[in-house]
Amino acid sequence: MSEDNQKLLDIICKALDLTLINSGKNYVFFDDFGSLFVRNIDDLLLDFIVGDNSLMTDYVHKLSIDSDTYNKIKLYKDNKDTGKREIYLAYDSVNMDKWGVLQLCGSLEP
C-alpha cells in the first residue's frame, strides 16, 4: 500500500479496513500507556460475560478527562489604553509531557 500526503492515522485505519476485508480478521489500533499497538481483537477477549445470565443488572460507569482538565491555561485581556492584547500563561510541563497539551483559552473580561 502506497500513500502520499495522508495523515498517519488515516493510513493506519485504511490498512486495518483492508485487512478486515481481505482476511476477515479484525484488528484494533490503540495506545497502551504511551505505547502504540495493533492487536487482533480475538486476542483481547476476556472469559466473562456482561449481560443476560451474568448477574450484573444496571451498571453505569463514566470516566472522562474532557471537562475541566487542563495543563495549560492561556488568558487574555485587551488593554484599551495601549491598544494591545495582554496574554497570561500558566502551565504544568510535567503533565504536558505525559498527556500532551490540554489547553483552556479564554478572556479575562466578562
| DSSP codes, 27-67 | EEEEEETTEEEEEEGGGG--S---STTSS--S-------SS
Q: How confident is the model at residue 34 (pLDDT cuts 50, 70, 90)?
A: confident
Residues 13 and 50 in one domain: yes
The mean pLDDT value for 24-34 works out to 93
Q: Which of 20-24, 26-30, 41-45 has the lowest mean pLDDT?
A: 41-45
Residues 43, 13: one domain? Answer: yes
- Alpha-carbon dihedral sign for residues 7, 12, 17, 21: positive
Query: With a threshold of 0.75, does the pTM exceed it?
Result: no
Q: Is the pLDDT at 17 greater than 90, yes or no?
A: yes
Distance CA 70, CA 101 (A): 8
What pairs with residue 36 in β-bridges?
Answer: 31
Both 10 and 51 in one domain: the answer is yes
Range of the structural domain that residue 3 is part of: 1-55
CB-based contact 71:96 (threshold 8 Å): yes
Name the band, by pLDDT with cuts 50, 70 and 90, for residue 26.
Answer: very high
Is residue 13 scored above 90 in pLDDT? yes
